């Protein structure tokens, strides 16, 4: 998945070409660097794979873990809100809620402010599971960011957030 480099990619591509020229190596042809979208997807797949491996003893997937962390930050979400915030479809969320509820990690109850609305929340067992895996997940993130300075981590966080904001207005509702 390569394409002509973006503005930021063009800078690094031209640097690579001039570095190659100064060392007598063949220059890197324009457009041979992977697109940033491809690299982001590769990181996402690696993170998901490593999280699945890490969470396997708890019989939990990366997507289920994500849903639990979303509920930790935002209690009492509707299943549609949980789906949007957990990056899964409504159908997948319904299946996931059934599984997590069956394991007593989440519960469904009526919203206190709108009794017609059914919401999802963490149980004590769900909180305990998140607490048990908090340090291993933080260690995995630290491994991913090895070699980055604090300033680089902050810049990466801002950049990724900006990328999300740029695209979020164009997502199907």
Of 110, 71, 115, the C-alpha closest to 83 is: 71
Q: Per-residue pLDDT tens for 42-68?
A: 999 999 999 999 999 999 999 999 999
Q: Tell me the pLDDT band of 19, cut-offs 50, 70 and 90.
A: very low
Residues 156 and 51: their CA atoms lie apart, in Å, by 20
Cα angle value 89/111/103 (rounded, 5°): 55
Element (H, E) at 97: helix 90-102
Q: Which of 67, 39, 72 is nearest to 51 (CA)?
A: 67
What's the average model confidence in pLDDT over 124-130?
A: 98
Whole-angstrom Cα distance, residue 109 to residue 13?
54
Bridge partners (DSSP) of residue 36 are none
Among the listed residues 27, 44, 28, 46, the one whose alpha carbon sits nearest the alpha carbon of residue 36? 44
Residues 83 and 92: beta-carbon distance below 8 Å: yes
The rounded distance, in Å, linking the Cα atoms of 100 and 83 is 14
Mean pLDDT along residues 91-99 = 92
pLDDT the model gives residue 16:
44
The per-residue pLDDT for range 153-170, each reduced to its tens digit, is 999 999 999 998 999 876
Mean of the pLDDT values across residues 92-107?
95
Worst-scoring range by mean pLDDT, 18-27, 38-47, 96-105, 133-142? 18-27
What are the residue ranges spanned by the domains of the chain? 54-173
pLDDT average, residue stretch 1-17: 41
Q: What is the fold of 54-173?
A: Arc Repressor Mutant, subunit A (1.10.10)
* pLDDT score at 172: 52
């Amino acid at each position: 998945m390569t394409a002509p480099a973006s503005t930021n990619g063009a800078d690094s591509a031209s640097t690579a070409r001039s570095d190659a020229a100064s060392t007598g190596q063949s220059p890197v042809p324009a457009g041979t660097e992977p697109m940033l979208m491809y690299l982001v997807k590769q990181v996402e797949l690696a993170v998901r794979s490593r999280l699945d491996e890490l969470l396997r003893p708890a019989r939990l997937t990366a997507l289920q873990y994500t849903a639990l962390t979303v509920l930790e930050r935002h209690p009492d979400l509707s299943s549609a809100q949980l789906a949007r915030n957990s990056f899964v479809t409504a159908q997948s969320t319904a299946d996931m809620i059934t599984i997590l509820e069956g394991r007593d990690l989440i519960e469904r109850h009526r919203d206190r402010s709108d009794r017609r609305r059914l919401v999802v929340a963490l149980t004590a067992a769900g909180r305990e599971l998140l607490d048990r895996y908090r340090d291993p997940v933080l260690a995995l993130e630290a491994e991913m960011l090895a070699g980055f300075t604090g300033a680089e981590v902050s810049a990466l966080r801002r950049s990724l957030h900006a990328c999300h904001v740029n695209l979020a207005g164009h997502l199907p509702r």
